[in-house]
A and B are shown apart, each in its own frame.
Chain A
Amino acid sequence: DTAVSQTPKYLVTQMGNDKSIKCEQNLGHDTMYWYKQDSKKFLKIMFSYNNKELIINETVPNRFSPKSPDKAHLNLHINSLELGDSAVYFCASTPSAGADETQYFGPGTRLLVL
């Protein structure tokens, strides 16, 4: 029943590892996003896909690579994890890529890099 779901909810890993976070939405939306929220609660957009096509790619390290196998899924793969990657990562979706679209957020994935 969850509209936007993320797995895992918590992720604890060592520096240098590679990890993936998965996101799925069952709302039939065309557009999906990844956000990073740091310890100071700043929410910063990282990527956005519309119908599996990348439309926003902010200045993030190329260790972060989004993958959209279909428009209901947007996964985030992170290579060579660093301490500074520790944060909460939120997935979101909107019906389309319009300016007035309401974003529906997932519950977040709390990543801790040791």
Chain B
Amino acid sequence: LAKTTQPISMDSYEGQEVNITCSHNNIATNDYITWYQQFPSQGPRFIIQGYKTKVTNEVASLFIPADRKSSTLSLPRVSLSDTAVYYCLVGDILRGGSARQLTFGSGTQLTVLP
């Protein structure tokens, strides 16, 4: 069972790069790492996903070291609207058979200050 650990909160200023790290020491071979963003009174929203090395999309980058025991979400040049809770999710669901648990981290409250 992959347990995840994230910082409870982080503050940043507009225009800065923000890096949020998630620890998942017991990650399994089949597990993917996914990050979600959640605004108040809304459901989580997908940001980025990776298995190993580095992944980049139009909103973020995800860095995963070779041992995969942690991952870092990088948000370039944050704005006030990036203030939200960020969750990492580690898990796998086996098709048509016994299912593994999907484990969300405790979430990191990112506050972007002007």
Chain A contacts for B104, CB-based, 8 A:
35, 42-45
- Tell me if B87 counts as interface (CB < 8 A to partner A): yes
Task: List CB contacts (< 8 Å) of B60-114 with chain A.
Answer: 85, 87, 89, 91-96, 99, 101-102, 104, 106-107
Contact A105 B44 (CB under 8 A): yes
State the CA gap A40–B9 with chains docked (Å): 13
Contact B106 A41 (CB under 8 A): yes
Contact of A90 among B43, B85, B99 (CB under 8 A): B43
Chain B 22-49 interface mask (CB, 8 Å, partner A; 1/0): 0000000011101010000111111001
Known: A45-B102, A48-B99, A56-B102. A100 touches B32 (CB 8 A): yes
- Taking the closest CB of chain B, its distance from the CB of A74, in whole angstroms, is 14
Known: A56-B93, A99-B30. A42 touches B106 (CB 8 A): yes
Task: List CB contacts (< 8 Å) of A10-49 with chain B.
Answer: 31, 33, 35, 40-45, 48
Contact A99 B107 (CB under 8 A): no
Task: List CB contacts (< 8 Å) of A89-103 with chain B.
Answer: 90, 92, 96-100, 102-103
Contact of A99 among B36, B45, B93 (CB under 8 A): B93
Contact B49 A102 (CB under 8 A): yes
Known: A99-B91, A107-B42, A108-B43. A58 touches B32 (CB 8 A): no
A-B pairs with beta carbons under 8 Å apart, 18 shown? A31-B93, A40-B106, A42-B104, A43-B87, A43-B104, A43-B107, A45-B104, A48-B102, A55-B96, A56-B93, A97-B96, A97-B99, A98-B95, A99-B92, A100-B51, A102-B49, A103-B44, A105-B43
- Given known contacts A45-B104, A97-B93, A98-B95, what 11 new A-B pairs fall within 8 Å (CB)? A4-B43, A41-B85, A50-B95, A55-B93, A56-B102, A96-B95, A103-B36, A103-B44, A104-B46, A108-B42, A108-B43
